[in-house]
Amino acid sequence: MKSPVKIIGAGLAGSEAAWYLARKGISVELYEMRPGKLTPAHKTGYFSELVCSNSFRSDSETSAPGILKREMRMMNSIVMEAGDRYRVPAGQSLAVDREKFSKYITEKLSSMPEIKIIKTEVTEIPSPPVIIATGPLTSEPLVEELKKIIGEKFIYFYDAIAPIVDADTVDMSRAFWASRYNKGEGADYINCPLTEEEYKNFVRELMKAEKFPYHEFEKGKHFEGCLPIEEMAERGIDVLAHGPMKPVGLVDPRTGKRPYAVVQLRKENREGTAFNIVGFQTKLTYPEQKRVFRMIPCLKNAEFLRYGSMHRNTYINAPEVLDQFLRIKGTEIMLAGQITGVEGYIESATTGIMAGYFVRKLHFEGKEPLIPPDTTATGALLSHLRKKSENFQPSNINFGLFAPLPRRVKNKLKKKQLYSERALKDFRKWLNKSGF
Ligand SMILES: Cc1cc2nc3c(=O)[nH]c(=O)nc-3n(C[C@H](O)[C@H](O)[C@H](O)COP(=O)(O)OP(=O)(O)OC[C@H]3O[C@@H](n4cnc5c(N)ncnc54)[C@H](O)[C@@H]3O)c2cc1C
């Protein structure tokens, strides 16, 4: 008899892992500290509580979150089952009645004989098999335990995410390739120049734009070196022109002069299909990011693959710390959910399902799991956790994470359709041969 899988945290990821394993007849001990001890954002004792928005974003087949949802449904996700059951009208998005949603998941998991629920805060990491799915607000004692294993420098407490744009939508008739003072490879960045007037208009709109409010527990906690772009702007009209938008070491080939200010775009993937707006971490609402960042002339038609954000968030540097099966390298301790460096409800839930599958294969069947290819949304998300970078940041699912299409497609809708068709076809193939 193998010992049960201990799952710590009954959030989106932990609930999915428990659901998957229990349905495969594997015993689970599911540890949850709420309601005895709440996190700063959770309010109830229900499993899979949605701490903020009640939306799982777009459910359109031609959007990246829509593709991920379809893959989750194919994997019998409990988050999708409850989400579809308690859907509320929200256009193309899947939004849910949050209370009914979480209550349903709590009751389902509580009624399964394979799942033993233990309502306590875990302060030491139990012996394997174990899945840690304690989320962005993991309690302090467990963070201390994790630090001992993975080292302090690989665990973070705030994310600072800059928006990502689709490379095909940058106006290259005005932008130019260069690195400041020709450093690095000499042309590592796309530079979007602004005149003085364009820059000042941009800064004024940035200051006026609507922002997500800070939660009480997040106030005043940002590092000076990583402020939201709008907070920098509020310190003075020229602050950005001396900071992330400084034009030094750059000459605009169209004018032969140094621009007044510059926005730099850095490659987000090797293929160069997605670009990060350097230093533009922000708390602007999504519609405002679209409106204000499109005031940068080269980005006037930009398609945003991911919007910027800044949160209180406990997560690890997954590419340094985890192996391909979400285990802390050299150990059997598996991680799932937001703590791995994915961002968002459905992304966290998906890594929970995958952790359940990985543990079952590795621990109970002694077989190597098969990872979905990065042409699929699930595979693309997992591949984000394996890509080393200087500044690893959490990511939600977006087309920039998918393997690029074999050939360039200009038409936006056609491109999304092709991503979607390929993903769903490859995912079905993976399901058939993975022993999922
Ligand atoms: C303030 C805030 C707002 C957010 N808003 C959104 C949003 O609008 N949309 C979105 O998609 N994502 C949002 N996120 C991200 C969101 O938290 C994740 O997408 C998702 O909830 C993460 O799932 P998870 O399973 O990893 O963690 P969680 O769902 O947080 O689950 C972790 C569980 O572990 C428990 N736990 C923690 N420590 C211990 C311990 N030591 N012992 C036992 N149990 C423990 C917690 O009580 C919790 O139930 C937000 C995050 C924060 C912090």
Q: Which of 81-85, 137-141, 252-256, 409-413 has the lowest mean pLDDT?
A: 409-413
Decide if pLDDT at 37 tops 60.
Answer: yes
93 vs 2, which has greater pLDDT? 93
What's the CA-to-centroid distance between 47 and ligand 1, angstroms? 10
- CATH class as words, domain 164-307: mainly beta
For residue 19, what pLDDT band results from cuts at 50, 70 and 90? very high
Q: What is the 3-class SS of the chain, one letter each residue? A: CCCCEEEECCCHHHHHHHHHHHHCCCCEEEECCCCCCCCCCCCCCCCCCCCCCCEEEECCCCCHHHHHHHHHHHCCCHHHHHHHHCEECCCCEEEECHHHHHHHHHHHHHCCCCEEEECCCCCCCCCCCEEECCCCCCCHHHHHHHHHHHCHHHEEEEEEECCEEEHHHCCCCCCEEECHHHCCCCCCEEEEEECHHHHHHHHHHHHHCCECCCCHHHCCCCCHHHCCHHHHHHCCCCCHHHCCCCCCCCCECCCCECCCEEEEEEECCCCCCEEEECCCCCCECHHHHHHHHCCCHHHCCCCEEECCEEEEEEEECHHHHECCCCEECCCCEEECCHHHCECCHHHHHHHHHHHHHHHHHHHHCCCCCCCCCCCCHHHHHHHHCCCCCCCCCCECCCHHHCCCCCCCCCCHHHHHHHHHHHHHHHHHHHHHHCCC
What's the CA-to-centroid distance between 306 and ligand 1, angstroms? 20
- pLDDT at res. 182: 80
Q: Is the CB of 66 under 6 A from ligand 1?
A: no
Pocket test for ligand 1, best of 7, 15, 33 (most atoms within 8 A of CB): 33
144 vs 217, which has greater pLDDT? 144
Q: Is the CB of 18 under 6 A from ligand 1?
A: no
Answer CATH for 5-160+311-433 from 3.40.50.720, 3.40.50.700, 3.50.50.60, 1.10.10.10: 3.50.50.60
- pLDDT at res. 274: 93
For the chain, the residue count is 436
Decide if pLDDT at 240 tops 90.
Answer: yes
Q: 179-193: per-residue pLDDT in tens?
A: 988 877 778 899 999
For residue 132, what pLDDT band results from cuts at 50, 70 and 90? very high
- pLDDT at res. 261: 98
Q: Taking the model in full, what pTM does it have?
A: 0.90
- pLDDT at res. 177: 95
- pLDDT at res. 221: 55
Mean local confidence (pLDDT), 292-311: 95
What's the CA-to-centroid distance between 292 and ligand 1, angstroms? 30
- pLDDT at res. 223: 54
Mean local confidence (pLDDT), 76-103: 95
Decide if pLDDT at 283 tops 60.
Answer: yes
What's the CA-to-centroid distance between 348 and ligand 1, angstroms? 9
What's the CA-to-centroid distance between 153 and ligand 1, angstroms? 22
- pLDDT at res. 183: 77
CA separation for the pair 345, 162 (Å, rounded) = 19
- Single-letter code of the amino acid located at 177: W
Pocket test for ligand 1, best of 51, 144, 156 (most atoms within 8 A of CB): 51
- pLDDT at res. 1: 72
The residue ranges of every structural domain in the chain are 5-160+311-433, 164-307
Q: Percent of the chain scored above 70 by pLDDT?
A: 98
What's the CA-to-centroid distance between 223 and ligand 1, angstroms? 22
User: Across all residues in the chain, what is the average pLDDT?
Assistant: 94
Decide if pLDDT at 322 tops 70.
Answer: yes
127 vs 271, which has greater pLDDT? 127
Decide if pLDDT at 339 tops 90.
Answer: yes
Decide if pLDDT at 282 tops 90.
Answer: yes
- pLDDT at res. 389: 87
What's the CA-to-centroid distance between 311 and ligand 1, angstroms? 12
- pLDDT at res. 219: 63
Closest CA to 27 of 60, 3, 45, 44: 3
Mean local confidence (pLDDT), 137-164: 93
Q: Is the CB of 337 under 6 A from ligand 1?
A: yes
- pLDDT at res. 391: 83
Q: Which of 133-137, 164-168, 226-230 has the lowest mean pLDDT?
A: 226-230
For residue 224, what pLDDT band results from cuts at 50, 70 and 90? low
Q: Is the CB of 143 under 6 A from ligand 1?
A: no
Mean local confidence (pLDDT), 46-75: 96
- pLDDT at res. 225: 59
Pocket test for ligand 1, best of 6, 7, 12 (most atoms within 8 A of CB): 12
